[in-house]
Chain A
């Protein structure tokens, strides 16, 4: 029983991160109808920024070798600041890889290439500046909190619970903002129909920028949380999370905010329940599960069926 509880918490904490990353995809998809392939790179950047804001030094292999900030913030301050900085970078991605194409009313396929290009450039910049070595947040990042906690007989890493707690708070704030604020509702209106929203006096471009900023913030927070729990295994470590979150996005239903959260939790738990001996095939099993669900429900768990007009 304690083992099952432990495995479930493992799955839920992993799934919460998938959900956060997938929500970033969802916000951009809902306002633009395209996937931002630079999102995984922004996630990676969030992890590095959290590390640097905590006072971490650049390793020996980057151009900035040995560099560290003259201050070291506590984790609770570093994480939101990293999120804000990645929100700015995400706005940069929008301005460079999306806006010029939008103005020319380019094919949606082209956004895929430009955003992928922006992501590759970002990752390579990280490698040039910070090197390819792995970084970890100090194990003392959570201050005096113990390394592990015992809950109903299950031994849990404190970072998992912190990750879960932060993810839950972020998701709750996002839901309240989307449903209860003027800008959140405007964003939803643009995602429903940009033309009608414009006729109603909503600045669609501003809402698109807002979608990118929030998306970047979520990616940065998710990256910072993962770097706290695991490590930054190099500039490419966001790719697997980005791909997994793409699967989560599709499973939840393209553009569905609650769908992204639900699917994230399902995929996280499905992975955690793979027997340890077969964990090397965890991704294959997770994608097979996704494949099966989509065969039965192509619109995703909470997505709306697409109606084709002839």
Chain B
């Protein structure tokens, strides 16, 4: 095998590569110039583009796949009501880099509003890009503390962890008042998990349950056997997990396999039927706080559940699909009301895009929306105000592969 170095004498292929790179850079600059020029002109007459960047690949893809269904159902549901909208879904991956590329690509496509990304960790990286560009961005599943504070164009339909997470601890204590000690596992490389775990730990302290172990894991971990061995030596009655379906599901399975018989509480990141295939029969009994109930009987939720059930062969919609539906609904209904407020003959598409985005953001934060999540509205900063939350307990079927989120008695919003 020849060992000639590519660093020897200028290589023709290297020169060609340099030329190609330069040409690409030049082309990118031209595209960028084109976009900035386009921001100032009137939009035109076509459908209004809405962009969504969600995790279709990587660790969080199980969340993104739930969200894609919710978005597609919302697009179909609101088609024909109000101005024509065109939804583009981009893969935002499960990391900040991919989400940044997806946001930039959608911004280049001159979208009116953005939905996404799937993870809070990504939101801290990409929401400032949309905010600087003056594009309203709605987080469908970003629950970490500090998301709406990123900027005036950032809001979310996903209730913050501070509101939701403590409910499952309260439910665990209602189910088993003898709980005296707790251990905490969280993915230290994920902003949502870290943020949620702080809330969980405070909730435990508030109830005189000082954690006997706080174990920092990683979202890419699947093997927790050594950590579990050490933790179980400290005999916790309750274990609280903040992670995503893949790492969290494996953790639940291994905890049960290694003999943990106490109560398990999981955070919002594991709030998906996609955990069934990972922890299987060991998912049974897991407590997870919910921002959505498929059993709600409001007309919009009945329509959403019917559409979802039809699309997914009888399956019950998960929270992430409902939240994605709500995010699209907020944008669609606000644009619809803006259209109505225009003089006869005028269209939103004809407005300068920057002006349309500004009006959309202002109106969006003032509205009330009857969504599958129940009635929601926003604070002036973009924080969602939601009326009702729930706690569900996972109940696995005898086959150990399918199950359901069985709601415990409802808990009113504090």
Nearest-CB distance from A269 to chain B (Å)?
A: 10
Nearest-CB distance from B66 to chain A (Å)?
A: 10
Interface of B is mostly: mixed
In the complex formed, the residue of A with least CB distance to B56 is A132
For chain B residues 293-316, which have a beta carbon within 8 Å of chain A? 312-313, 315
Which of A85-93, A135-143, A175-183 lies at the interface?
A: A135-143
Nearest-CB distance from B177 to chain A (Å)?
A: 28
Docked complex Cα distance between A280 and B313 (Å): 39
Whether the Cβ atoms of B227 and A134 lie closer than 8 Å is no
Contacts of B6 in A (CB 8 A): 107, 109
A188 beta carbon closer than 8 Å to chain B: no
Docked complex Cα distance between A33 and B213 (Å): 47
A160 beta carbon closer than 8 Å to chain B: yes
Whether the Cβ atoms of B312 and A60 lie closer than 8 Å is yes
For chain A residues 109-157, which have a beta carbon within 8 Å of chain B? 109, 127, 131-136, 138-140, 147-148, 155, 157
Contact with A along B276-292 (1 / 0, CB 8 A): 01111110000000000
Contacts of A274 in B (CB 8 A): 226
A133 and B218 in contact (CB under 8 A), knowing A32-B1, A60-B312, A138-B400?
no
Whether the Cβ atoms of A3 and B277 lie closer than 8 Å is no
A279 and B1 in contact (CB under 8 A), knowing A14-B223, A61-B65?
no
Contacts of A273 in B (CB 8 A): 226
A134 and B246 in contact (CB under 8 A), knowing A160-B225, A234-B61, A278-B216?
yes
Contact of B278 among A11, A134, A271 (CB under 8 A): A134
Nearest-CB distance from B191 to chain A (Å)?
A: 14
In the complex formed, the residue of A with least CB distance to B217 is A280
Docked complex Cα distance between A6 and B217 (Å): 19
Whether the Cβ atoms of A282 and B218 lie closer than 8 Å is yes
For chain A residues 23-41, which have a beta carbon within 8 Å of chain B? 32-34
B375 beta carbon closer than 8 Å to chain A: no
Contacts of B279 in A (CB 8 A): 136
A3 and B213 in contact (CB under 8 A), knowing A132-B56, A133-B277?
no
Contact with B along A206-231 (1 / 0, CB 8 A): 00000000000000000000000111
Docked complex Cα distance between A229 and B278 (Å): 11
Contact of A281 among B216, B226, B277 (CB under 8 A): B216
Count residues of chain B with CB under 8 A from any CB of chain A: 57
Contact of A237 among B3, B64, B222, B230 (CB under 8 A): B222
B180 beta carbon closer than 8 Å to chain A: no
B2 beta carbon closer than 8 Å to chain A: yes
Contacts of B225 in A (CB 8 A): 6, 10, 157, 160, 272
Contact with A along B49-86 (1 / 0, CB 8 A): 00000001111011011000000000000000000000
Contacts of B229 in A (CB 8 A): 3, 6-7, 10, 155, 276
In the complex formed, the residue of A with least CB distance to B227 is A276
Whether the Cβ atoms of A233 and B226 lie closer than 8 Å is no
Which of B26-34, B254-262, B387-395 lies at the interface?
A: B254-262
Whether the Cβ atoms of B223 and A230 lie closer than 8 Å is yes
Docked complex Cα distance between A7 and B224 (Å): 11
A292 beta carbon closer than 8 Å to chain B: no
A276 and B2 in contact (CB under 8 A), knowing A132-B57, A160-B225?
no
Contacts of B259 in A (CB 8 A): 148, 155
Nearest-CB distance from B99 to chain A (Å)?
A: 16
Whether the Cβ atoms of B222 and A230 lie closer than 8 Å is yes
Contacts of B215 in A (CB 8 A): 276-277, 279
B187 beta carbon closer than 8 Å to chain A: yes
Nearest-CB distance from A197 to chain B (Å)?
A: 14
Count residues of chain A with CB under 8 A from any CB of chain B: 53
A275 beta carbon closer than 8 Å to chain B: yes
Contacts of A229 in B (CB 8 A): 223
Nearest-CB distance from B61 to chain A (Å)?
A: 4
Nearest-CB distance from B256 to chain A (Å)?
A: 8
Whether the Cβ atoms of B312 and A136 lie closer than 8 Å is no
A240 beta carbon closer than 8 Å to chain B: yes
A283 beta carbon closer than 8 Å to chain B: yes
A108 beta carbon closer than 8 Å to chain B: yes
Contacts of B64 in A (CB 8 A): 132
B37 beta carbon closer than 8 Å to chain A: no
Whether the Cβ atoms of A233 and B246 lie closer than 8 Å is yes
Nearest-CB distance from A55 to chain B (Å)?
A: 11
Whether the Cβ atoms of A157 and B61 lie closer than 8 Å is no
Docked complex Cα distance between A234 and B64 (Å): 13
For chain B residues 1-18, which have a beta carbon within 8 Å of chain A? 1-4, 6
Whether the Cβ atoms of A155 and B258 lie closer than 8 Å is yes
Whether the Cβ atoms of B280 and A139 lie closer than 8 Å is yes
In the complex formed, the residue of A with least CB distance to B244 is A233
Docked complex Cα distance between A279 and B228 (Å): 11
Nearest-CB distance from B280 to chain A (Å)?
A: 5
B253 beta carbon closer than 8 Å to chain A: yes
Contacts of B61 in A (CB 8 A): 132-133, 234
Whether the Cβ atoms of A33 and B56 lie closer than 8 Å is no
In the complex formed, the residue of B with least CB distance to A51 is B277
Contacts of A235 in B (CB 8 A): 57
Docked complex Cα distance between A160 and B216 (Å): 23
A236 and B58 in contact (CB under 8 A), knowing A131-B65, A133-B277, A279-B227?
yes
Contact of B222 among A6, A108, A231, A279 (CB under 8 A): A231
Contacts of B223 in A (CB 8 A): 10, 14, 229-230
B221 beta carbon closer than 8 Å to chain A: yes
Nearest-CB distance from A213 to chain B (Å)?
A: 21
Whether the Cβ atoms of B222 and A275 lie closer than 8 Å is no
Contact with A along B123-163 (1 / 0, CB 8 A): 00000000000000000000000000000000000000000
In the complex formed, the residue of A with least CB distance to B274 is A133
Whether the Cβ atoms of B277 and A283 lie closer than 8 Å is no
B41 beta carbon closer than 8 Å to chain A: no
B401 beta carbon closer than 8 Å to chain A: yes
Nearest-CB distance from B153 to chain A (Å)?
A: 30
Most buried by B among A105, A155, A231, A275: A231
A136 and B280 in contact (CB under 8 A), knowing A107-B6, A276-B227, A280-B188?
yes
Instruction: Offer 8 A-B interface pairs, CB within 8 angstroms, sorted by A.
Output: A107-B4, A133-B274, A139-B253, A157-B254, A234-B61, A276-B226, A279-B215, A279-B217
Contacts A7-B226, A59-B277, A155-B232 aside, 18 further interface pairs with beta carbons under 8 A come to: A7-B230, A10-B225, A11-B226, A131-B65, A132-B56, A132-B62, A140-B400, A157-B258, A229-B223, A231-B277, A234-B57, A234-B58, A276-B227, A276-B229, A277-B215, A280-B189, A280-B217, A281-B188
For the complex of A and B, list the 6 residue pairs with the smallest distance between their C-beta atoms, beginning with the closest.
Answer: A132-B61, A280-B216, A233-B246, A276-B230, A280-B188, A276-B227
